[in-house]
Each structure stands twice: as structure tokens, then as C-alpha cells.
Amino acid sequence: MSHYDVAVIGAGAAGLAAGLSLQTSGRSFVVLEARDRTGGRAYTDTATLGLPFDCGAHWLHAAAQNPFTRIADGLGARYDDNTSWEDWTLYAAGGPALAPVVEEARNYIGEVLARIETAGTAGGDVAFSDLMEPGHRWNPLLRLLIGQITSHDPKDCSTLDSARYEDEGGDFPVEDGFGTLVKRHAESLGVRLSTPVSHVDWSGPEVKLTTARGTLTARAIILAVPVNVLIAGLIRFTPGLPHALTQALHDCPMGVSEKLAMLLDRPVAGIEHLHGDVVDLSDAARQPFNLYVNPFGRPLLVSHLAGSHGREMEKLSDPEIMAVALDALTEAFGAGIRKRIVRTLRTHWASDPFTLGGYSHAKPGRAASRLLFSQPVADKIVLAGEHCSIPFFSTVHGAHFSGIDAAKKALRLLNGLPASSSR
Ligand SMILES: Cc1cc2nc3c(=O)[nH]c(=O)nc-3n(C[C@H](O)[C@H](O)[C@H](O)COP(=O)(O)OP(=O)(O)OC[C@H]3O[C@@H](n4cnc5c(N)ncnc54)[C@H](O)[C@@H]3O)c2cc1C
């Protein structure tokens, strides 16, 4: 069959949710995925380290509002609901830093995050960096943390976009992997894998798609690919996407978010699981190194590398990045740790042509641009993906909600009704 009511492009959390919603609609549809697997940025690698490792999404953020918490419960997938910001610590000079140092860093970070929230809630659309104290000794650490949250540097993040993000709390890591969970919940859905779409021709009454496996037509399409893939022009549109939408995509780009995982011969002693950062207390300007130690009691160290620093690190060769990591690990645990690394895994989302980055955040002054993603183009093209969610952008659940919303809109358009927007 080469004609459908709806074609979904991309089978990440958004495209999968759209496909699952369409399953019960009675309409014909197809889900086209470029890779040989589903899940997109939610992907659990089990082969490389011999244990489940989430290359992308790992945490059920906003756990109480997150549909994947209930989906996990339904599928019997375990998650850790006992993690907290209180677990976070600093390593310096061969061990955990003293409590007053940790407290001082925590207070500064907490104060700036509160200022960001206050500014955004009051309607201010300024850069996070405007609310940091110039030259403060904990700025490098704060930049690292903001990088993990947003995948950008503080100067590139809008306070208003951030204030619109909703999170009632709870960050629960999934034991067998969030990627595995996303894949499992959509197992009933047929997805056409290894079928990248290269051209979308919406000049006629129907949309014509050119894929690596031939052409097909659809009355409406759901475009569920990452925003940076659209910005990079890796899918050609005839005619081009409207100028206002193209500008909005550029206003809400994805930054960089990568992981380096190091499998040890045994877990780090004396720690159940811990989040921390390795800092050099004698040199405030030195780049801190993030660490997630013994997740689920496993013999694993995971470092998150994000923002412009993450971009530089992603480009390093394997020996170069390991030299940086080993310096930091020696600082935290002593030189003995060097010989205990059995295997490593690193991600390259930023150079992966089907992702090209971490997750979206609006630039300062541009928060309104995200609102445009909820408007279909010419009653034929509906956008989906984490970037389309106002309250939950940059997350798996945001992508999931956007997919459900996009399917509803596409069905309304097929019925000749205006596509009303939800979340
Ligand atoms: C390192 C990292 C850590 C993260 N941690 C978390 C976390 O802990 N919790 C959380 O909630 N979120 C996290 N995220 C963010 C989360 O993974 C994403 O927000 C979410 O998975 C995005 O889903 P999506 O469907 O919008 O996009 P994607 O998952 O990127 O899916 C898009 C799909 O489109 C496909 N595609 C691309 N081009 C084409 C084409 N031309 N033709 C056909 N298909 C195409 C891609 O292959 C992909 O499968 C993290 C992301 C990263 C990178």
C-alpha cells in the first residue's frame, strides 16, 4: 500500500505515541523510522557494557505527572523512587568534599535557579546568565548543571521558556532502562524501520513522501523528527516550510547532551548510588566533571557532558576523552581507579544525523516561538516531538503528549474540522 490517511515521520516517543493513538482511529496510517530501531533518544544499550545503559533518557522526570510512571507500573518495570537532590555531593582532592563546601555550592545554585524561576514567572524572557553573579566561584559548576537540564549554556536559555516547564517533582531512574520501557510500551505498533524520509512534497492536495524505500502519499503527515534535523535541512520540503515556522525552529534549538559510561571491575566502595561533580577547589575556573556513581548498585560511573563543553568533549577522540575522565576520577577516588575500568561507552547524539543534538530550549527573548509548533501547516503537516510541548519540552513524556496531541489534530483535519490545540 502506498497511500495512507496519515504518515508519521519518526518513531521516537512522539511518533510512537502518535502511532498508538491512530491505531484505534479506523484511519489508515504508517510510521516511518530512519533507524533500524524505535525509541529515538530513548534508547537502552544492553550489549556494550553487558548491562542496561540508557544512552539518552534515563529519568522519569516530573514522575507524578509522567504517564511513563504508570506505564512502567503496568508493565512491571521497576524504577527507583528514592532519589533526591540531597544525594548530590562534590568530590575534591581524593574524596567527598567537606559538608560546608557542598552546602555553599548548593546554596548558590539554589539561589540562581530561584531567580531564574522568579524572572520567568513574572514574564521576563532573559538569559539565565543574566541572573548569575559574574565571576562567582561556583559558576562553572552551575553551568554544568544547567547544561544537563537544558543541554545549553546559561547564556542561550530563556527564563520564560523555563518557567513554563511544569514539574511537580520526582526524578526516577528506570532499572532496565527508560529506552527499553519506551520500546516495550509500543510493541504492538508496526513501524517501518530503516526508512529515512528525504523529501516532503506538500505542493499538491496530498503530501508525497520520498523515502529510502520508495515513495508514498498521505492526506496528512505528523512530523515527529528532532528540531535540529529540521534546522539542518536534512529533510527537503517543497515548498519550503513557512518562514515563521523556520524562524521558530531556529529559536528553539537543541544543544548538546552526551554521556560517557565507564564499567568498573566492582562498584565504588561505600556508596549505594550517588550523584556528584568532581571540582578543583584550588582552581575555581577549572571545568568540573560530572559523575553518577554506582547506579542501581552497578559497577558503573556515568558522566554527563553538556552545553558547549559537551560539544567540545563529543568531538574528542576516545583516548583524548579518557585522559580528561581519568584526571577527574583520580581526583575523586585516587589513582587506583584507573586500572579498574573494564569497558567504556560514549554517545554521539550531536553528530548522529537522525538527532543532531540533546534537547530543545528557547533562546532568550524567543520563548513565544515554541507556541507556533502547535499550529498545523496548510491543514496537512502537524508537528510532534519534545520541542512541541510547552509544559514538558525536552523530555520523553513531553514528546509522548505531543504525539497524542498531533494524532488528534491530524484526525480532526481529516474530518474537515479545525485542529484545536491541547498540551
Ligand atoms: C543524553 C540525553 C539524556 C536525556 N535524559 C532524559 C531523561 O532522563 N528524561 C527525559 O524525560 N528525557 C531525557 N532526554 C530527552 C528525551 O530523550 C527526548 O526529549 C525525547 O526522547 C525526544 O523524543 P522525540 O520523539 O521528540 O524525538 P526522538 O526521540 O529524537 O525521535 C525522533 C525520531 O525521528 C527519527 N528520524 C530522524 N530523521 C528522520 C527521517 N529523515 N526520516 C524518518 N525518521 C527520522 C529518529 O531516528 C528518531 O527515532 C535526554 C536526551 C539525551 C540526548
What is the CA(56)–ligand 1 centre distance, in A? 8
Residue among 83, 225, 304 to mutate when testing ligand 1 (max atoms within 8 A of CB) = 225
Q: Is the CB of 225 under 6 A from ligand 1?
A: yes
Instruction: Please give the full DSSP string across 372-417, using - where no structure is assigned.
Output: GGGSPBTTTEEE-SGGG-SSSTTSHHHHHHHHHHHHHHHHHHHTT-
Q: 256 in ligand 1 pocket by Cβ < 6 Å? A: no
Protein residue closest via CA to atom 33 of ligand 1: 10
Strand 207-211 to 59-60 pairing: unpaired
With contact defined as beta carbons under 8 Å apart, do 179 and 55 qualify?
yes
**Does the C-beta of 235 come closer than 6 Å to ligand 1?**
yes
Torsion angles phi and psi, residue 45, rounded to 5: -95, 125
CA nearest ligand 1 atom 6, residue: 57
Domains of the chain by start residue, with CATH? 3-38+186-253+361-414 (3.50.50.60), 84-169+255-351 (3.90.660.10)
Q: Could you report how far apart the first and last alpha carbons of the chain are, in Å?
A: 33
The sign one gets for the Cα dihedral 262, 263, 267, 272 is positive
Q: Does ligand 1 lie within 6 Å of residue 61's CB atom?
A: yes
- Beta-strand relationship, 59-60 and 197-201: unpaired
Closest Cα to atom 50, ligand 1: which residue?
57
Q: Within a 10 A sphere around the Cβ of 15, how many other Cβ atoms?
A: 31
Tell the residue nearest (CA) to atom 37 of ligand 1.
Answer: 354
Whose cell is 484505534? That residue is 24
Contacts by 244-247, CB closer than 8 A, 24 or more apart: 244/372, 245/372, 245/373, 245/377, 247/369
Residue pointed to by grid coordinates 520564560: 160
DSSP state of 312: H
- CA angle, corner 157, sides to 152 and 160, nearest 5? 150
Phi, psi values for residue 340, rounded to 5°: -95, 0
What is the pLDDT, as a whole number, of residue 227?
Answer: 98
Q: For residue range 56-66, list pLDDT tens digits in order.
A: 999 999 999 99
Calculate how far, in angstroms, residue 227's C-alpha sits from the geometric centre of ligand 1. 10
Are 101 and 340 in contact by the 8 Å Cβ rule? The answer is no
Cα–Cα distances (Å) from 313 to 39, 135, 280, 306, 317, in that order, read 25, 24, 19, 9, 9
CA angle (176, 269, 346) in 5-degree steps: 45
Q: Is the entire prediction scored with pTM above 0.95?
A: yes
Q: Please give the distance, rounded to the nearest whole angstrom, from the Cα atom of residue 12 to the centre of ligand 1.
A: 6
Residue ranges for the chain with pLDDT beneath 50: 422-423
Strands 44-45 and 214-223, sheet pairing: unpaired
CA dihedral sign, ordered 51, 295, 42, 71: positive
Q: Is the CB of 11 under 6 A from ligand 1?
A: yes
- The DSSP line for 249-260 is HHHS-B--EEEE
Angstrom distance (rounded) from CA 213 to CA 196: 8
The pLDDT of residue 423: 43
C-alpha closest to that of 112 among 122, 127, 92, 97: 127
Kindly give the distance from the C-alpha atom of residue 120 to the centroid of ligand 1, in angstroms, as a whole number. 26
The pairing of beta strand 300-306 with beta strand 257-264? antiparallel
